Amino acid sequence: MATKIRLQRGGRKNYAFYSIVVADVRAPRDGKFTEKIGTYNPNTNPATVDLNFERALYWVESGAQPTDTVRNILSDEGVMLMKHLRGGVKKGAFDEAAAQAKFDAWKKAKEAGFNSAKADEAKAKAKAKAAALEAEKKVNEAKAKAIADKKAAEEAEKKAAEEAAQQALDEAKAIADQALKEIEDYARTQKNVFTGTTPDVSGEFLAQVDQLVEDLKQAVENAYADGTLTDDFVDVNEVKDQIDAVYANALKAQNAYTELKGEIADLQNALDELKAIDLTDADEEAAQKVEDQIGILQDELNKATQALEDNKAGAADTDLETLLGESADDFLAKVADLTEQAEELIFVLGDLDGDKRVTAADVRVFINAYLSGDLPEAGSEQFEAYDVNKDGHLTPADAQMLRDIVIGKK
């Protein structure tokens, strides 16, 4: 049976390794084989060969024909050389000891050559690695220099931009400070004007102007600190308009305050006239009721006055009815009603016709009543009015005294 020594593929895709097998020449490449005598892995450097030397030599000497690749493997492993040397022994050219010596010498020379080649390769690799490292070092140094140069340029550009921005910011701050000074001067001038024209309400409005100026100054400082301050940050005319608006409101409040205060004063005058009515001789209980109502009206006026004083600045937004709780007409109507009640309580000696005055008409009333015998009964309020001389009797003497009162003798 003709045999062949060949490679049988194994492994996986893109990573093949081979078995060295002895097979019938008629068997498929990867089919049944007679004997496996080794392995061959070309994926390593150098390729790895694991060979059963004795079995390989046996099959070669038995006539098995290796493929070209296997022949190269067997030659490299010394199998073909040993076959040749053993052939020489058989022909008597030298004995087995000499053959083994020749084989050992070849093997030693091969190992020496392999080691030398390996050393040369290692040196070449080391040299190449050193050259690569040097080249990489130069490249890295060049990159580092380029990065450093770029960073330095960026830093210089950034510094220049920051200096330019700071210069612009300082210029804007100077402009804003000048604008603030102009605004403060204007506010001071207006304050002097309105302190005189709005003396009662100016305090709160002046505080508003002061706060407006302080807020603006703080806004400038904040904008300067965060770098957002610009040349047109402060609009002088706009701020002056705001100040004028505050003082215009102050003037409105002052006018309203003065007007309301005058209206309250008018009501107070009317109430004072009511208070001036002497109720000393009036019925005590009735007089007390009138005085209690007068006290209520006075409390209303006092509360309205206090409310006005507490909110002088808001005087323009209120009215007397809101402060008083009722209209001025309603208040005056109450005063008039109480005045009428008080006057009715007043006892006027000699007022016989009830008009709260002593006139010639009262003299005629007395004479007519006396002549007709229609005089009031003793103890009545009307009797008290007729008894002008207070002697407890109604006589012509009372008529004579009443006449004297009328003509001014009493």
Q: What's the residue count for the chain?
A: 410
| DSSP sequence for 367-392 | HHHHHHT-PPPTTSHHHHHH-TT-SS
**pLDDT (0 to 100) of residue 19:** 92
| DSSP sequence for 48-100 | EEEE-HHHHHHHHHTTPEEPHHHHHHHHHHTHHHHHHHHHHHHHTSS-HHHHH
Residues 6+ apart with CB under 8 A from 204: 312, 313
What tokens appear for 381 in the block? 């309020």
Cα gap 37→182, rounded to integer Å:
109
| DSSP sequence for 18-49 | EEEEEEETTS-TTS--SEEEEEEETTSSSPEE
**pLDDT (0 to 100) of residue 2:** 86
Q: How do the pLDDT tens digits run along the chain, 410 residues long?
A: 689 999 998 888 889 989 999 998 888 877 788 899 999 999 988 889 999 999 998 999 999 999 999 999 999 988 898 889 888 888 888 888 888 888 888 888 888 877 777 777 778 888 888 888 888 898 998 999 999 999 998 998 999 888 888 899 899 999 999 999 999 999 999 888 888 888 888 788 888 899 999 999 999 999 999 999 899 999 999 999 999 999 999 899 999 999 999 999 999 998 898 888 777 666 677 778 888 998 998 999 999 999 989 998 898 899 989 988 999 999 999 989 988 887 776 656 667 776 667 788 888 888 888 888 888 888 787 787 788 788 888 888 888 888 888 887 55
**pLDDT (0 to 100) of residue 243:** 92
- Strand duo 3-12 + 65-66: pairing: parallel
Return the SS3 of 8.
strand
Closest CA to 257 of 197, 320, 315: 315
Cα gap 112→367, rounded to integer Å:
179
**pLDDT (0 to 100) of residue 102:** 87
**pLDDT (0 to 100) of residue 58:** 93
- Sheet (strand 35-41) strand order: 48-51, 35-41, 15-24, 3-12, 65-66
**pLDDT (0 to 100) of residue 39:** 93
**pLDDT (0 to 100) of residue 182:** 92
Q: Where are the beta strands (DSSP E) in 100-158?
A: none
Cα gap 292→100, rounded to integer Å:
153
Query: Which one-letter amino acid corresponds to residue 353?
Result: D
- Residue 398 near residue 364, CB atoms below 8 Å: no
